[in-house]
Structures are given as structure tokens and as C-alpha cells.
Amino acid sequence: MSATAAASDAHTSASASVALARRALTDSRVRDLAFASLFAAIAYVQPVGYRSAYKTIEERIAFARAFADNKAIRLFYGQPHDLLTVSGYSAWRVGGTLAIVAAAWGALAAVRALRTEEDAGATELVLSGAVSRVALNGGALAAIGITALGIWLVIWAALLAGGLAAAGSAYLALSIVSVIPVYVGVGAVASQLAPRRRVALGFGLGAVAVGLLLRAVADTSNGLEWLRWLTPLGWAEELRPFTGARPWVLVLPLLSSALLLALAVRAATRRDIGSGLIQVHDAADAKLALLSSPTAQALRSERGTLAVWLASIGVVAYILGTVAKSVSTGITTQLEREMAKLGAGSIASPKGYLSFTFLLFVFAVSLFACAQIGAARGEEDAGRLETLLAQSVGRHGWLAGRLALAAAAAGTISLVAGLLSWAGAVTQGVHLGVGSMLLAGLNCLPLALLTLGVGALAFGAAPRAAVGIAYSFVIVAFVWDLFGSLLSVPHWLLEATPFAHVGLVPAEPFRVGAAVLMVGIGALCAAAGLALFARRDLAG
């Protein structure tokens, strides 16, 4: 090949990568804006809230004594190094929380960019033109890189707005986003190994879960601190922003991400489009179970996802139940007052602690409702819905069946959370009553049904933005409820989020009126979504 031809091919490949990156950024803008909003909200609220709640050094010393050695707190946020300063506190709370979110975002973004359109058949059409696999994957990864840079800028700007120093804020933001390229690499490798997108997602999110487990064990167990060096989440913690920076640790995520991406590129040339390096049988006996109706078929396609949600929520609920007694009995009066400043109720008893943790399950089940809207949208986007509706299947029946299935699944997950929390507490001699814990589980359902209705309305009115709207609704409402009180905003504005109207059962009574209102609004939104869906064109 002549030098001129080689230069022409390189220019064509670069142009194709730029065009594909621009298209990927456009397609994911709503989802990325929702994540960016979450990053910005947490990064801004934490330093502002700490500065407002703990104004004197005496208050900060009392806070540090209450929180620093609490293993249940470390389980979520990591090991604190300096809780007497706003910057040290922010490094702990902002860095510990957002690194987990960034890791999940990296794995999800990679799998979505590299396998979603491939499984839908679009990649094969793109490669049939003058676009190589290198250009295709390069465009996808470039879009992720640009978005990651945007996330870093958003976090930095939010920390600056929260009153932290510019250089330290930039380094803290860098420590958070340092996990993104590693888990992008994990997602990229998973996309080459797995035969389907769903399996690749399982691999990617499973790697995030393993990394979080290693960090949690390292932060809560004596003598096992070395496990922190085995996970990118631990590396982010060891970068020590504001508390003795260790920039040399950045070598670990840089080398790991380069190695993983190189493996993914090499693997991409060794597999066929639409398949994975892990082989599956092309022929098998026909399995006709759960094909009697569109709703049954939806259950068949979603049963793996439902099993993962049930297992994940169940394990977390059981663990929280087993530690409820030890955590609550170790809470001092000072810690009780500090938690009250952050908007929490009494957690000085196993019942109070479990009631507070169930706010997380309300959030999780609402996210499950968002995922079900995403599954419905995926059916339409991949073209499978068009084929289904060509049969004797009505639009109302299809969407109503999907929503009913999602509601039933959300109820099942909620009950499992309540039941296994009770079971975990019983193993430690805590007797709360199975009925009260099942009610705590069902308390997750009204907000999930409201979210499902809002998502259905968005699906009917703006299908391409529906998933982003649903997730944004839940995330913004949750962040506002969790941190809004720290901003000293008017009470009526705090009441604007639906999370503020969820009673923390069993320590608080079940709020029947608020639950009925949320379910009613969700039903009205779902009915409107059904009507709009029946009138619009399918959006692939």
C-alpha cells in the first residue's frame, strides 16, 4: 500500500471515529446529564452541609469521635483520615460515595457503547460501509472519555462552589474519576467475552461489586487493609485527597486500564459480530415455557434480571439485619445528635437503625422501576416490539402487561428486603416481628409505583428520553431529600420530594395518605402514558 493510500485510510478512519463519537454523545446525553447532576449535587452539598452543621472545632471533634470508628459507616464511605476539616470530611464522604457511582457508570457505559447496538444488528450495518472495527470502537471509547472528562469538570466545579480549594478539589475529582477508565476496560473486556449484552453487563457490574466488597472488608477488618490495593476503589481511597496526597498511586489505574483496553482490542479481532469468545450452543431443545402471552414472554426475558435484583437486595438486607444490633448499641448520644443534624431520625435501637436503612431500599426499588422502563424501551429500540405488534397483540395490552409485571416484581423485591432484614436481625437475638418488617418492605412500593407511572408517561410522550427522565426523577428526588435539609432551604421546598413523605417503618407509622396519593398519581401517569403510546409511532 502506498503512503498516500495509507494516509487516506487513516484520515477516513479518524473521520469515522469522530462522527461515531459525536453520535454516541448525542444518544447518551440524557443519561449522562442525569449522572452528572448526581455527581454535582453530592459534591456540592457535602462540604456546604458539614460547614453549616459543625461550625466549631468542638462540634467537629465530637463528630469525629462518633463517626471515625463506626464500622457500619465505613462500610459505605471508606476509612476517614481527617474529619476535623471541611476538606478532609469532603474527601471521605464525596470520594467514598462517588467513586462507587463512577465505577458503575464506567462499566455500564462501556457495555452499552460496545454491545447494545451490536446485539440489535446495527453494528453489522455500520461495518458493511467504509468503517473499520478500530474506528467503531475508537469512536465509542472516545465518547466515554469525553464524558468522563465532563464528569471531572462537573465534580471540580461543584467542589469549588462548595468552598474548597481549587487544587485540592481538582485532585479529589481526579481520584473519583480514576476508577472510570479501569471499569471501562472491564466492561470492554466483558463485551468481548460475553455472548450477549446482558451477560456482559453482569460481568461488569459483578466486577464493581467484587471491588466494593474488597474495599469494605479492608476498611472494616483489622489486619486486612492490604486488600485495598487489590481494587480500583481502594486505589481511589489511597490517593488521599486533602489528607496527604499520593499521586503516584495513579500509576495503578493507568496501567490497569491500558492493559484491559489492549486486551479488549485484541479480543475484538478474534470474535464474530453478535457473538462472544465464550461460546454458546447454537442448537438446543425448544423451550416454550412463558411464551403464552406478551407479559409471560416479558417475564421470560427479564427473569435473569429479576433474579439478580432479588439476590442483591436480599443479601444486603440480610447483612444489614445482622449488624443492626451491634451498630445501634454502639451509637453514642453524641452520634445520635449528629445524625439528627443530617436529617436522620433516631437510630439508637435496632428498629430505628433498620428503619433508617430502609430509605436505601425505597431508593433501590425505585431504581428497579426505572430499569423496567429501560427494558420496555429496549424492546422497542431493538425492533422486537414492531415484530410483536404485527401479531394479534394490542399496544395497550403489551405496555399494561409490562407495567403490571414491573409492579409485581417491585412488590416481590420489597417483601424479600423486609423478610431477610427480619431474618438477619433474628440471628442476632433482635425480635422485631415479621409483620412489621414485611410492612417496612411494602413501604418501598408506593414510590416505586409512582416512578413506574412517571416512566410510563415519559415512554409514551418522549420514548428516546424516557429512561433518562425516570432515572433523573428518582436520583434528584433522593439526593434532595437526603441533603436538602443541610442547605437550610424552606420547609415547603424540602417537602417537594416524594421521599420526604415516606414514613420510616417500623420506627414510624406507615403513611397511608401519602402512599395512596403516590399510587394514585402513578396510576394517572401510567394511564396517560398508555394513551400516548397508542397514538405515537414506534421509535427505533
| pLDDT value, residue 131 | 65
Q: Which residues of 354-388 are buried (b: 16+ CB within 10 A; e: fewer)?
A: bbbbbbbbbbbbbbbbbbbbbbbbbbbbbeebeee
Segments making up each domain of the chain, as ranges: 11-278, 290-540
Give the helix ranges, DSSP H, for 221-250. 232-238
Q: Are 147 and 25 in contact (CB under 8 A)?
A: yes
* Cα 466 to Cα 173: distance, rounded to the nearest angstrom: 29
DSSP helix/strand/coil, 31: helix
> Which amino acid, one-letter code, is at 26?
T
* Across 412-439, average pLDDT: 90
> What pLDDT, on the 0 to 100 scale, is given for residue 280?
55
Average pLDDT score, the chain: 82
At 290-310, the pLDDT tens digits run 556 777 777 777 777 788 788
Task: Kindly give, in sequence order, each residue whose CB lies less than 8 Å from that of residue 301, ignoring residues fewer than 6 positions away.
Answer: 375
Looking at per-residue pLDDT, the higher value among 174 and 359 belongs to 174
**Helical axes 350-381 vs 434-442, angle rounded to 10°:** 40
Q: pTM value?
A: 0.72
pLDDT over 60 (residue 372)? yes
Tell me: the pLDDT tens digits for 205-243?
888 888 888 888 888 777 778 889 999 999 999 999 998
Q: How far apart are the first and last CA of the chain?
A: 40
